[in-house]
Structure 1
Amino acid sequence: MRRAVLASTVTAAGVVLLLSLKPHGSASPGAAPVIGSDPGGTASAAPATPGGSSSGEPSSGDSSLSAAAGAGNASGARVVTGNAVDTRYGPVQVRITLSGGRITKAEVVRYPSESRRDLEINQFALPRLNQEAVSAQSARVDAVAGATYTSEGYRRSLQSALDQAGV
């Protein structure tokens, strides 16, 4: 009899815990600031770009391309936005600026930001990933300890941006 009561109590507690979890995809896109590759590692005040693919798989006709993707500016730089890549904790999307075939700037326009812990991890990890992308001039960047899923999503989105740019 005691085992039945214990088993019922544990099952009920498990169900309550599962029902209290919130999915990460419910946050409104655009709530998180863009995190750029500036040397100080600070986030800019620009809102994140909404939209994008949630499949995580690059596609040639993806709607995640920003209006500026592939467009030139007065300095001859091109801006290309990679596909949004779903990770365990939410989507990651990278935008790069290219000049003369070289990455001059990398910034993250979408990243997990629903919880305080998500923000804490990503405020630390994303500036480092951005700086490493500019240094490496490729998607071969090392994962940041404590941000493994975000690092993998970052690499995949960065690679899709480089593929779209033809680099």
Structure 2
Amino acid sequence: MRAHPVRRTVLTCVATVTVTVLALSLKPHHPPSAAAPPPTTQTPGATSGGSTSGTRTVTGPTVQTRYGPVQVELTLDGSRITAAHAVRSPNGDSHSREINASAVPVLDRETLNAQSAHIDTVSGATYTSEGYVGSLQAALDQSRT
């Protein structure tokens, strides 16, 4: 048996309104925003100024993510990244701490392997990964000035 045309129209309208309301209730994705970069810190015996030679430590800006702040610190020898470490990562709840306990070391290793901010996102830690890359790229940019 076929549905009555008015009933079909009503069901179609209800379905359309439901889908529209669901779509509008989704939170939009905003890319991580970077704060003003902090000054470059020098390690003992490192060169100063805008030089890209010598060993130095550069700390990227804190990037706010949906689950908390992410900030990356790099150690460079010349233009080579010799160490990468997230000095801040989301830790507001046990779930975030658990995720980042495994994701941050992966991001640190990927940075050393890539020698750039062109690293893959860690599955299950997308927001942390995006914040990490934002802070990492800003630290690399800062190291070149």
TM-score of the superposed pair, with normalisation by structure 1: 0.60
CA distance in 2, matches of 1:57, 1:133: 19
Alignment of 1:23-102 (within 5 A): 56-57=33-34, 59=36, 62=37, 64-65=38-39, 69-74=40-45, 76-102=54-80
1:121 to 99, 102, 115: 99
Question: CA offset at residue 77 of structure 1?
Answer: 1.1
Partner-residue secondary structure (3-state), 1:103:
strand
Tell whether 2:107 aligns with 1:136: no
CA distance in 2, matches of 1:106, 1:97: 6
Partner-residue secondary structure (3-state), 1:74:
coil
Do the aligned partners of 1:81 and 1:96 also contact (CA within 8 Å) in 2?
Answer: yes
The residue type paired with residue 95 of structure 1 is E
Equivalent residue pairs, number: 107
Do the aligned partners of 1:58 and 1:160 also contact (CA within 8 Å) in 2?
Answer: no
The structure carrying a bigger helix percent of its residues is: 2
Do the aligned partners of 1:80 and 1:164 also contact (CA within 8 Å) in 2?
Answer: yes
Do the aligned partners of 1:104 and 1:134 also contact (CA within 8 Å) in 2?
Answer: yes
Larger Rg: 2
Q: In the alignment, what sits opposite 2:123?
A: 145
Question: CA offset at residue 147 of structure 1?
Answer: 0.1
CA distance in 2, matches of 1:106, 1:127: 9
Do the aligned partners of 1:98 and 1:105 also contact (CA within 8 Å) in 2?
Answer: yes
Q: In the alignment, what sits opposite 2:144?
A: 166
Question: CA offset at residue 57 of structure 1?
Answer: 2.5
What residue ranges of structure 2 are gaps of 5+ in the alignment?
1-31, 47-53
Question: CA offset at residue 114 of structure 1?
Answer: 1.1
* CA RMSD in angstroms, aligned pairs only: 1.8
Question: CA offset at residue 71 of structure 1?
Answer: 1.2
Tell whether 2:84 aligns with 1:106: yes
CA distance in 1, matches of 2:44, 2:114: 24
- Percent of matched pairs sharing the same residue: 50
Q: In the alignment, what sits opposite 1:10?
A: none
Question: CA offset at residue 94 of structure 1?
Answer: 0.1
